[in-house]
Structure formats: C-alpha cells, structure tokens
Amino acid sequence: MSEAWEPLRIEPSASVVVVTGAGVSAESGIATFRDKGGIWEQYDLERVATPRGFAMDPDLVWRFYSERRAQVLGCEPNPGHRALVALERYLEPRGRFLLVTQNVDGLHQRAGSRRVLPIHGSLLRTRCSNDTCPSQPFDDEQSYMDGAPRCTTCGALLRPDVVWFGEYLDPDLERQARLAIADCDLFMAVGTSGLVYPVAGYVEIAAHYGVPRVLVNLEPPANLGAFTSFYQGKSGEVLPAILRSVAEAIGLG
C-alpha cells in the first residue's frame, strides 16, 4: 500500500474506469453519508431513502431532498472533480475513460466531466412515482418544503429521480459500467465507503480480470482488501497530486 502520493503512470492509450462516492464532494461542502456528522446521523435512512419511507411520509422525504437540492446548488466542484476532468481530456484522443458516480449532486458534470454514469440518479431531476405513467423524468431545481408535488399527467406523487435502498439501479447504466470495468487497464475508486452494493462489488469485477485497482479515500473502507494500492487522504489533495503528470501532459500542470 502506498503511503506517499506518488504520481500514477497512465498511458495515453489506456482505458480507465473511475468510481466515485460522497467523499469526492466532501471538500465542496456536501456532507457524506456515513462519516461522523454525515447525513445518516441526522436522518433515518429508512424514512427518507427507501420506497417504504416515501409511501409512509412523502412530505418528509421531499423536505429532505429539497434541503439537499438547495445546498448542492450553492456548492462548487473542487480540485478532485477537476483532476478527473483532466484525466478524461488526457485519455480522450487515444484512450478510454468512464466515470461511474454514485453521487447525485451533479458536481462532476458541472466540473466538465463528459463520460459520466450517474448510477444512483440525480438530485436535480424529478419523476413520477407511478411506473406506468408515460411522463418522463425532468430537470428540476425546485424545493418542495411545503409538501410532495403531484404529476400533471396522472396525478400520482412525484419523487426525486434517485435510487433508494431496495430499488434496482438502471440496468442499462449497470451494464455499461460492468462492461467497461471488465475491459479496462486501470480501475480507480474515490471517496466511497465500499458498503453499498452493487457498486461496492465493482472492484471485484476488476480483480477478476486482473486489472490494477487504485483507491483514494480518507479512511480505509470496508472493501480495502480488494484494492492493489491505497492513497489515504482527501481526494481534493490526492487526485491532483497523483494525476499531476496527466494534467501536465495536457497543459494544465
């Protein structure tokens, strides 16, 4: 395991998959879920992030997501997000890059990342809770502090377009992520506790194919043993350091 933040050597023709979690947005001022002071210390996840919680109290769920919407809209991407943009640009001409993010905050996209799979959905999108309704998910920055909104097409409750516990991830996004991991030269995970499946298991796919597996995290996560190197620290400091040769190669160093 690496203690120093040595730069990673990445060939311009390499195929790289990066999986990110809440830790990558921590330095933008967005609370993680399971750290001290994290979201699940303040809120009961069963009540705000499960279909059952939504059925029991949709107004509470909407207050929770409305507060987070307002917070995210006031935050900016940090150097960790930007280092991943540099990596994508470096690989664009000859290599391949895919960013699989569990984050629903949209900060990777706002930083300029293009090949992003938001595998747990988006905080800034709303959809109908009725699966048979023909309406489509839509971009939505509104707060609904006074109660859950209703669908103008079918009258059912609207809900945030995120993936709650007990719900399946979008099968098309899952397929794209798994195929890219099976076929990459380098797998990286950044700022994630390695507790939430199926994404926590993606490193095992990379391991199955003998792909090097780099972890950048503040604390050792649950699945530490599955990685081949560990850079312990804040992603906003570690990523710019380990990707500095990449940034230099594209004139951003």
Q: Does 122 bind ligand BJW (CB under 6 A)?
A: no
Q: Give the residue ranges of DSSP H helices in 8-48.
A: 23-26, 39-42, 45-48
Nearer to ligand BJW among residue 21 and residue 106 (C-beta) = 21
d(CA 22, CA 193): 9
Residue 208 carries which side chain, given as an amino acid letter? H
> Would residue 120 show up in a list of annotated catalytic residues for this protein?
yes
Q: Does 213 bind ligand BJW (CB under 6 A)?
A: no
Measured CA angle at 198 (ends 193, 203), to 5 deg: 65
Residues within window 28-57 making contact with ligand BJW, judged by CB under 6 A = 32-35, 38, 49
Beta bridge pairs of residue 15 = 96
Q: Does 98 bind ligand BJW (CB under 6 A)?
A: no
Q: Does 21 bind ligand BJW (CB under 6 A)?
A: yes
Close Cβ partners of 131 (under 8 Å, ≥ 6 residues apart) = none
Q: Does 223 bind ligand BJW (CB under 6 A)?
A: no
Among 139, 165, 183, 209, contact with ligand BJW (rule: CB under 6 A): 165
Smallest Cα–Cα separation from 43: which of 51, 52, 53?
Answer: 53
Please list the active-site residues. Answer: 120
Under the rule (CB under 6 A), what is the footprint of ligand BJW? 21-23, 26-27, 32-35, 38, 49, 102, 104, 120, 162-168, 191-193, 195-198, 217-219, 221, 234-235
